[in-house]
Structure 1
Amino acid sequence: MNTKIMHIHITLVGGQNIPIYLGIYEKSPDVVVFVCTDKTREQSELIGSIVKLKTEYVIVNPLDYQDIKLKLVQLFENYKENRISFNLTGGTKLMSLAAFSYKDTWEHVDFDYIDQNYQLFNLNTNTSRVLTSTIDLDTYFKLSGNHIKSYKKLEQYPRQILESWIQVRELIHFSPGEYYNLTGTLANKNNQFQLTTKAGSSYDYDHEKDEVRIHLVNKTRTITRVLAFRQANDILLNTIWFELEVAQIFSKWKFTREIYHSVVVPYNSGSDKNEIDLVISLGQKWLFVECKTQVNDIKDIDKFRNVVKNYGGLGAKSILITDAPINDRVIEKCKDNNILTFSLKQAKNNSMFMVDQSLFLMLESELFTSNPI
């Protein structure tokens, strides 16, 4: 009776989970063998629980070259009648060297490596190709050892809310000082929904109708706009309109697969922030976005850094996007924490490109030439 030839995928574990997961997903094996250490056993089991395939765990001493080689020989012997693929991306350097030393001995084993741009290199044939597998948001967070509580996709919003930033931009353009005087003052006052400035501008939120009436005065004219849609007050005072404007910019980017807004994650003891303004899915990479019309408290940078560190994993990139120009102190703080920065106003004033083009060029340079595994 013929025994079915199985596809056995062996993967070294250590470092980031995503290239290990993508390697498994790309190969579609029958059995996954995780070569791990005592310290990375839990990491291996996490990945194993997500891929939902038959799994095996081989524990090695990461500092004992002979122990690693002995365990690998046993593995190769056990599965020598089957098709074997071997992902060298994870693990320690010693583990990778021990495995690769068998490249010429075990010719039936395909040795692969996945680089920082998710190119899969077949080390037997010296060929490469771009991985086609992608990761959804929920799986991405699980691979980082976290779970999301909630998030919203842009298509879930009514058009009035999604395009609320257009009305706000009109008001800001008419009288920026009066607009920010009204909204900035009310944002810092709980349960106050009406305000009139000395110049005669006013903000009036009707709770029953769930609509906001804004009347602005400048030197020569007045303007009145009524924003009549659900959560209008919250969208204005908490600058959600700006988050939606930035989301609309990202929706034009050729690398954007999905946009998640207001991503809520469980509180972590290492962070006092548990909401991420935007998470942009690029299929295999993720961008965490903090949206602020301007940075009023530099401590917000620390909060953003912590939430990316705790929930984004080593492979996530982060960026602070503001409306107003960013001062040198904030830029330096962001650089120290590997956070990219971008100001819509500065890009508009200083670049020969459109604002969205300037943002995309900067991100493509950073995302696809850095972020090593």
Structure 2
Amino acid sequence: MTHQIVLLGGQLLPVYIGVLERKPQVVHILYTKETVRLKTRLIQQFREVKVFDYQIDPYDYDSIQETITNIICNNEHATFELNLTSGTKLMALASQQVFSTLDCFSFYIDQKQNIINLSDGTKHKINALISTKTFLSLSDHNTFTSSTLKSFNKEELDLANSIFELRKNKSGIGELFKLFRSLKVDSESKNFSFSNSKYRIYWHGNLLSVEAPRFKLTGKGVNSFKILTTGLWWELIIGMAVNDWKYAKEILMSLAIKSNINSNMDKNEIDILINTGQNIFFIECKSGIVTQSDLNKIRTVSKFYGGIRSKSILVSFYKPKGYLIEKCHDLGIEMFYLEGASSKRFELKTISKKLDSLLNRIEL
């Protein structure tokens, strides 16, 4: 019977992956008073594994060694292994000293999803895959709603493409967007009509019709009005661009994470989430002007829901102001923009290659 000892620090993911990949029958968790909540959250994920837990002082070297030694001595017929990826450095040093003395297997999970054998330095790729639901559960968020690209029909996707082409060609559709803002239009409306000397807008029975001085638009589908009156059109454009990325196991759109206190309230909304099975990419799609609050939101989402292995990406139609571009670099937010960009900087059809590059350089 295999027993795995894990050291619990501020990141749950490498601990969870180690158990998922190695499949021990028993897990021993060493935690501190600062990580007791994380320990409880982690145990909830191990429904088919027997778990024992031990609170330790993370800076008491002798006590840590004693705890590890007692665990091994009390289970003398078991095979032991040690996941050294998490915990404090002193926890790792004390634990590894015991394992080295007893010639037991210890390993480390690196940022490129390799398990490294600390005895001989050999490594192999992790095969275990994690669902988006589990990723979010590890951050203590169990309730969310989302959609996928399949939630939209062909006519709705065609409408998003039409808006995109009009936006690129400076057709005057920006003035229509300003009109919607001035009218404080409810994007969830089932019926809407408006007419003046410039525009004739009709929305009824899931049919949309727009006549403007320099363009016409039609749409058919329950989401058509929302696509036109919000930035959803841009999210769909980006969603279509990343939909066929070979490393994506799940792609969710308009993911609304619910409050743990009130499940009727959205705590955060993520435009696009890409799950590779081992990493999470959060994409914020901005069809308008980028602000400092947008960057704060992106940083918060990545920190609380994805952990250290996640990546935040801002995809903006317009080029952000210089100080915001600098801020993105400071915060580790990847950024692509269309308006004012050279073809080498950002092309929708090559965004998958850019995601390949980001996946290969995830760093501590």
TM-score by length of 1: 0.87
- Give the conservation status (yes or no) of the 8 Å contact 1:182–1:196: no
**Does 2:301 match 1:307?**
yes
Deviations 1:65-91 (A, max 9, x none): 000001111011122311212111111
Q: Which amino acid aligns with 1:25?
A: L
1:55 aligned to 51, 58, 67, which one?
51
Deviations 1:131-168 (A, max 9, x none): 00111111000111222321112233333334432222
> Offset at 1:226?
1.5
Shift in CA distance, 32/128, structure 1 to aligned 2, threshold 3 Å: same
Once residues 156 and 225 of structure 1 are traced to their aligned partners in structure 2, the CA distance between those partners, rounded to angstroms, is 21
> What stretches of structure 1 of length at least 5 have no aligned partner?
1-5
Q: Which amino acid aligns with 1:205?
A: Y
Q: Which amino acid aligns with 1:342?
A: F
Matches within 5 A, 1:179-194: 179-191=173-185, 193-194=192-193
> Offset at 1:306?
2.6
Shift in CA distance, 307/12, structure 1 to aligned 2, threshold 3 Å: same
**Does 2:104 match 1:112?**
no
Shift in CA distance, 233/319, structure 1 to aligned 2, threshold 3 Å: same
> Offset at 1:296?
5.1
Once residues 131 and 188 of structure 1 are traced to their aligned partners in structure 2, the CA distance between those partners, rounded to angstroms, is 52
Q: Secondary structure at the match of 2:183?
A: coil
**Does 2:86 match 1:94?**
no
> Offset at 1:362?
3.9
* Residue of structure 2 in register with 1:338 after alignment: 332
Q: Which amino acid aligns with 2:242?
A: F
* Residue of structure 2 in register with 1:153 after alignment: 148
Shift in CA distance, 170/42, structure 1 to aligned 2, threshold 3 Å: closer
Q: Which amino acid aligns with 1:334?
A: C
> Offset at 1:112?
0.8
- Give the conservation status (yes or no) of the 8 Å contact 2:211–2:217: yes
- Give the conservation status (yes or no) of the 8 Å contact 2:57–2:64: yes
> Offset at 1:328?
1.1
* Residue of structure 2 in register with 1:3 after alignment: none
Deviations 1:233-286 (A, max 9, x none): 1111112111011011111322222110011112489x9962110111111010
Once residues 156 and 165 of structure 1 are traced to their aligned partners in structure 2, the CA distance between those partners, rounded to angstroms, is 14
> Offset at 1:297?
3.7
- Give the conservation status (yes or no) of the 8 Å contact 2:248–2:276: yes
> What stretches of structure 2 of length at least 5 have no aligned partner?
187-191
TM-score by length of 2: 0.89
2:349 aligned to 352, 356, 369, which one?
356
Deviations 1:155-211 (A, max 9, x none): 33333334432222343356x34211112320342247455676x3x251323x232
Shift in CA distance, 205/330, structure 1 to aligned 2, threshold 3 Å: farther
Pairs aligned (count): 355
Once residues 260 and 302 of structure 2 are traced to their aligned partners in structure 1, the CA distance between those partners, rounded to angstroms, is 11
2:323 aligned to 318, 329, 332, which one?
329
Once residues 257 and 146 of structure 2 are traced to their aligned partners in structure 1, the CA distance between those partners, rounded to angstroms, is 9
Once residues 118 and 290 of structure 2 are traced to their aligned partners in structure 1, the CA distance between those partners, rounded to angstroms, is 51
- Give the conservation status (yes or no) of the 8 Å contact 2:256–2:266: no
> Offset at 1:30?
1.0
**Does 2:138 match 1:143?**
yes
* Residue of structure 2 in register with 1:121 after alignment: 116
**Does 2:225 match 1:236?**
no
Shift in CA distance, 228/156, structure 1 to aligned 2, threshold 3 Å: closer
Q: Which amino acid aligns with 2:95?
A: A
Q: Which amino acid aligns with 1:239?
A: G
Shift in CA distance, 235/317, structure 1 to aligned 2, threshold 3 Å: same
Q: Secondary structure at the match of 1:63?
A: coil
Once residues 231 and 346 of structure 2 are traced to their aligned partners in structure 1, the CA distance between those partners, rounded to angstroms, is 26
* Residue of structure 2 in register with 1:38 after alignment: 33
* Residue of structure 2 in register with 1:64 after alignment: 60
Q: Secondary structure at the match of 2:318?
A: coil
Once residues 339 and 268 of structure 1 are traced to their aligned partners in structure 2, the CA distance between those partners, rounded to angstroms, is 27
* Residue of structure 1 in register with 2:80 after alignment: 84
Once residues 145 and 231 of structure 2 are traced to their aligned partners in structure 1, the CA distance between those partners, rounded to angstroms, is 19
- Give the conservation status (yes or no) of the 8 Å contact 1:294–1:325: no
Once residues 301 and 205 of structure 1 are traced to their aligned partners in structure 2, the CA distance between those partners, rounded to angstroms, is 36
* Residue of structure 1 in register with 2:276 after alignment: 282
- Give the conservation status (yes or no) of the 8 Å contact 2:148–2:251: yes
* Residue of structure 1 in register with 2:189 after alignment: none
